[in-house]
Chain A
């Protein structure tokens, strides 16, 4: 019931943004749809807690506890960024940066993007999972090139080429994995629930090749380090609400798909050491991104590199394994989604007033935009893992699980990189907030309190996760 409500409402909202010309009504409808969807998702989460797994449409769609986590993230971040885009788009239209037609296109693509992300988290059929992952690539490619200038078009082209190639490599992997089951292909045995039970019939050599291809291919979309080059451009060029959604949800979802396949193959004999893939790529992501953060002069790019770093942390958690590692990885993916959303939205506010992405052009933010700079500091503390927030505990548990499972070198690099990232964030943002520029008169900008509501909602989410969700998971 809730499922049809979610998909039906998003389809309806797409249709409305296609037909109606008034941007204000479109965005109001968009906001109300995402609020209703959020409530529906919460109901689904409660339902799954009592039923364990739910099946829909002859087992093509299903829900279990891992996908409800994704559902919570998707609906929450979508809610926040749809509220944010209300004022964002109206402002752009008012200043004639974009035309009304383009604003309509924005909402159509926004809805398509959200639709395909919901489909990924619901999908049981692995091919549907793959197809909807590809659909997100198409929708977001146009959203990255939304501004239409040279830089953003280049970023969109890079994104579409890299991610499509990555995802086709993933498809080859999936095809080989299904081939290795040795059975005839029907709708039934493309299902994840079927594959995860019948792992004993797999051909080991083909499965090895297949999972490596899947990991590298879909890992491109998740933003693992050697394949992360699209990410820094793409996230920094996209409109701010979209970058928030991309780095908060989409990276998570791509990792979610990889983990789904990992769950299928991890019980096969001789393949137990495949968690090394997660550890190696996680450490590599951490290492590269932490040093990139240190030398960054563009704050949106800095946040993009921080997404790479956080994906590295999550995949380390999965690679170390054990109860603590997995729990911390899931917790970190939730808190990272909301924390990164907060930071990207604040960055959007700053970008709107200053019209520059360079760190050295922004001074004394603390006096110019006091509310936004307070949120900036809070978001920074959340992302770098300061104690009161849940991110501290998730990073701490990953450290513990690393030591417990005996990956000492990886744990040492992990701890060092966390320190470097903290230093990099401090240097960049303290420069923006506290450095004084002598010859400029300090006047508080009027636009400071303009787009604050979504930031407050995100903070509420973060506090909620930190205070309540952790208790539920620990007990």
Chain B
């Protein structure tokens, strides 16, 4: 089983990346950075279960194999089937997002992954955005990670159109063209507080959305 699991994950990742390309024709736009072998935290807007698949499909294959998604334990760990999909097939790291009832420290689990030399895919809104707002307020996780591991690059990634391809509660994807726009890495300034940094990170992600620059009447 120990040998089988990584192989299974690797096959799943390759198949899903190919499917993402067939359905969405996804292409990466490396506008603020380029693919790197360094440890990174890719943080992105979140509207769909397939967001993680879309983002990892845009990474070079070697990068994809060592990039793990952060998923909510209260959702993805709830049933056996969900755990099988998220942990065994996709290699996601489950963290508890409920501050009151949680038993384990979410930061601890994420730092462990980074310290083993892997990168993370992280959705700082904390949940899928179902509103008409383009991006929700960021939760603190991103700041805590950045402060704990200042040498890890934080890369904003704008995922285009996924809220239309596979909205919450739907099972079959509508084939629409998607792009993933990778922005310039950012880090907290020494005297910057939690909220100021999170707002800046949110604006940096939002600025990648092509609709923001396109003039809307």
A binds B: no
Interface residues of B (CB under 8 A from A): none
Interface residues of A (CB under 8 A from B): none
